[in-house]
Structure 1
Amino acid sequence: MSVQQSQTILFADVSGSTKLFETRGDVRARGIIAAVLNALTEVAHRHGGRVVKTIGDEVMCTFPGAANGLLASTDMQRRVKSEPDFLVENIGIRIGLHHGEALVEDGDVFGDAVNVAARMAALAKRDQIVATASTSSGITNAAGLRVRSIGTARVSGKLLPIEIVDVMWQEDVSHVTTVQRVVQFADAPVERMRLVLMYRGQAFTIDELADPFTLGREPGHSLTVDADWVSRDHAMIEWKRGHFVFTDRSTNGSWVAIGNEEVFVHRDVFHLRRSGTISLGQAPAAGPTDLIQFECR
C-alpha cells in the first residue's frame, strides 16, 4: 500500500571511501564503514528518525519533521568527529537533506523529495551539511540551528533553481565566511567517472550521465549473455551518488571479484570500484570464459 507523507529525507555517506579501501584493504575498510553507518543509525533513532536502507557507504533516513532531520544531521557530524576510532582513520561524512512530500511504499520511500535530498547530498563536501532553504526556513532560531546561504542549485526535474544552505554544526564557526556564493554547474567542463566493461571482445563504456546498463539472457539488454544460468533480466549497473552500483535481481545471483575479494551478490547491490570481474549466474571457476571484466576510470 502506498501512502503520501510530508517528511524529511536525509542522505549521509562516508567521504573518500574509495581511498579507504585502497589504504586499509577491503576487509578493514568495510568494517570501518559499517561502524560509521551504525553510529549514524543510532543518531537517527535518537531524533525520531527511521533508517530506510544502507547502500555501501551510504545511509538513507526519514524524519517526521525538518527540525528532527536538521538536528540529527548536526549530531551525526559531531558524532563522527568525536569518536576516537573514526578520528584515527580520518573519517569524514557529507550529508544532504530536504523536507517535502514523499511516497512511502513497502518500507521504501520514493518521489520528488527523495530526488532533491539526494541532490543535496551530491553537492555536499566532506564535513558539510547541505539542505534546501525551505527545509530550514522558520525553524533555525527555535532549534538553535545556524545556516548560511550558499546560493542556488539546479535539480533534475525542477524548472527553476532552488535556494540551498550550509547547516553550521561546528561549535566555533568564527572562521567561516558568510559571503554568499552561487553554485555553478555548467560553466566549466567536468571530467566524468567512467566504467568500462569488456566481454568476449565487446567493450562498453558507461559514465555518470548514462542510462542504466542492463544485463540478461533475453535480447534487448545493454549486454546479452546467452546462457541457461543467466536470468532473463539478471542485473543492472548505474551511477548513484558517487558510485557505479551493481544491482542483482536474478534467480542464481552473481559473483563480483575485486583483487583477492570475491562477493556473492543475490537480490542485493554492490559498489563497483577499481577493477575486477563479474560472473552472472555461476561461480567464476565454473566458466572463466564468461567473465565480464570491469574497470573504473
Structure 2
Amino acid sequence: MSHSRPQTILFADVSGSTRLFESRGDVEARRLIAAVLDALTQVCQQHGGRVIKTIGDEIMCTFPGALNGVLAACDMQRRMGRDINFVRDSLAVRIGLHHGDALEEADGDVYGDAVNTAARMASLAKREQVVTTAATYDSLSGKVPEARSLGKARVSGKLLPIEIVDLVWQEDTSGMTMVQSAVRIGDLPGTGAVLKLRHRGQTVELKPESEPFAMGREPSNHLTVEADWVSRTHATIEYKRGHFMIADRSTNGTYVRIGEDDEQKVHRDELHLRKSGTISLGQSFGVNTGDIIYFDAD
C-alpha cells in the first residue's frame, strides 16, 4: 500500500558519460561509472539515506530530512574531488535535490511532485555542482553550506517558475561571493531578457519565465523541422543560470553559429546563446540551405 510523506529526493549522475563511452570503450566506461555509483551509495548511506535505484549513469536516493540530503550531496562532490581514481579519469557528477511530499510504494520506489522537482534540479546542474530549490535551502537550520542564487527555473506541473540555488560545497571558498539565502527574483539582473527566434516567416519571443522551447521533427514540438536528419525531439532552448541555453538531445547534433564565429557542433551538451546567430538542426550550415533558425538575444 502506498503512502505519502515528506522526504528529500536526490538525483546524481555522471557528467559527460557519453564522451566516456566514446573515449574509453563500453567495458571500461561501465566499470568506471559503476565505481562512481558505488562511492555515491556509500556516502548516501553514511547520511542516513536510502538508494532507490540506479539507472545507467544515474543514482536516485531519499533522505529523511533536507539537511541529510544537502550534507550528503556536498560530501558526494567532495568524495569525487578527493578520490585519485576519479580525478585521474576526470570523472565528476552533477547533483539535484528537493525536499517535499513524495508517494512511497510498497516496493520502496517513490513518485510525485518532490521526485519531479528533484529530477529537474539535477537536469539544471552542471558538472561538480549541487542545485536545489530555494524552499529546500531556506528550510535548513544550524550549520549549513552557503548558497548562491541561480535565479528561477520552470518545473513541470508548477504554474510559475521557482527559485533555485547552487550549494557551495568546496572547502576552499576564497575569492567566491556567497549569499546565505536565495535572492528574490525581482532583484536579479537579466530578468527582462528576451530571445527572438525566426524560422520560415515564423517569429517567437522567449522570456526567462517561458517554458522550455522544444524543436524537432514531431508536430508536438514548439517548432517543427521536417527532415530525415532531424530527431523527433532534437533540441530545447531554456533560460537557466541567467542565460538562454540550447541543449542538444539528438542523434546528429545541433550546429550553432554566433555572429561571424565558426560554427560549433553541440551534441548531447548545451551552449549559451549570446548576441545573435543561427541554428541548424542535424546538419552543418554548409549542407543545410533551407531550415536555418535565426536568433537574437537582447
C-alpha contact 2:120 2:155 (8 A) present in aligned 1: yes
Equivalence map 1:275-294=2 (5 Å): none
Q: How does 1:5-24 map to 2 (within 5 A)?
A: 5-24=5-24
> 1:208-239 CA distances to partner (integer Å, 9 max, x unpaired)?
689xxxxxxxxxxxxxxxxxxxxxxxxxxxxx
Contact 2:147 2:178 in 1 (8 A): no
Question: Residues 135 and 88 of structure 1: is their aligned pair in 2 closer, same or farther, counting only changes over 3 Å?
Answer: same
1:146 counterpart letter in structure 2: E
Give the aligned residue type for 2:195: D
Which letter does structure 1 place at the counterpart of 2:45? H
Residues 1:187 and 2:195 are matched in the alignment: yes
- The residue type equivalent to 2:103 in the other structure is L
Pair 1:170 & 2:170 matched = yes
Partner of 2:150: 150
C-alpha displacement of 1:175: 2.9
Task: Quote the Cα distance in structure 2 between the aligned partners of 1:29 and 1:100.
Answer: 34
> Would you say the 8 A contact 2:233–2:249 is kept in 1?
no
Cα distance in structure 1, aligned partners of 2:54 and 2:190: 28
Counterpart in the other structure of 1:206: 232
SS state of the match for residue 147, structure 2? strand
Give the secondary-structure state (helix, strand or coil) at the position aligned to 2:127.
coil
Q: Give the equivalent residue in structure 1 for 2:257.
A: none
Aligned-pair distance for 1:107?
A: 1.3
Tell me if 1:126 matches 2:127.
yes
Report the residue type matching 1:83 in the other structure.
D
TM alignment of 1:1-297, pairs within 5 A:
1-105=1-105, 106-140=107-141, 142-178=142-178, 187=195, 205-207=231-233
| Contact 2:216–2:230 (Cα < 8 Å) also in 1 | no
| 1:182 to 1:4, Cα distance in 2 relative to 1, 3 A | farther
TM-score, normalising length: structure 2: 0.63
Q: Does the 8 Å CA contact 1:8/1:66 hold for their aligned counterparts?
A: yes
Gaps of 5+ in 1: 197-201, 211-240, 245-272, 275-295
Kindly indicate whether the alpha-carbon contact (under 8 Å) linking 2:96 and 2:119 is maintained by their aligned counterparts in 1: yes
CA distance in 1, matches of 2:10, 2:127: 16
Matched AA of 2:116: N
1:8-51 deviation digits (Å, cap 9, x = unpaired): 00000000011111111111001000000000000000000000
Give the whole-Å Cα distance in 1 for the aligned partners of 2:190 and 2:103. 29
Within 2, Cα distance between the matches of 1:55 and 1:116? 18
Shift of 1:126: 0.5
Q: What secondary structure sits across from 1:97 in the alignment?
A: strand
Q: Distance in 2 between matches of 1:16 and 1:194?
A: 23
SS of 2:38's equivalent in the other structure is helix
Q: 2:91 and 2:130 mapped to 1: Cα distance?
A: 15
TM-score, structure 1 normalization? 0.63
Distance change (3 Å), C-alpha of 1:195 and 1:117: farther
When residues 153 and 71 of structure 1 are mapped into structure 2, their CA distance, relative to the original with a 3 A threshold, is same
Q: Compute the RMSD of aligned alpha carbons.
A: 3.3
Deviation at 1:205, TM superposition (A): 3.9
| C-alpha distance after superposition, 1:49-85 (max 9, x if no partner) | 0000000100000000000000000000000010010
Q: What SS class does the counterpart of residue 121 from structure 1 fall into?
A: helix
Once residues 183 and 167 of structure 1 are traced to their aligned partners in structure 2, the CA distance between those partners, rounded to angstroms, is 21
Q: Could you tell me which runs of 5 or more consecutive residues in structure 2 were left unpaired when the two chains were aligned.
A: 198-211, 219-227, 237-246, 251-266, 269-281, 284-298
Residues 188 and 14 (structure 1 numbering): CA distance in 2 closer, same or farther, change over 3 Å? farther
Farther off after superposition, 180-189 or 101-110: 180-189
- Closer, same or farther in 2 for the Cα pair 1:124/1:157, shift >3 Å? same
Separation (CA, whole Å) in 1 of partners of 2:170 and 2:150:
17
The whole-number CA distance in structure 1 between the counterparts of 2:31 and 2:190 is 35
Q: Percent identity?
A: 56
CA gap 1:130/1:203 in 2 versus in 1, 3 angstroms = closer
Partner SS, residue 120 of structure 1: helix
Output the CA distance in 2 between the equivalents of 1:186 and 1:128: 26
**In the alignment, is the contact (CA less than 8 A) between 1:78 and 1:169 conserved in 2?**
yes
Whole-Å separation in 2 of the counterparts to 1:123 and 1:188:
22
Deviation at 1:186, TM superposition (A): 7.8
Corresponding letter in the other structure for 1:92: A
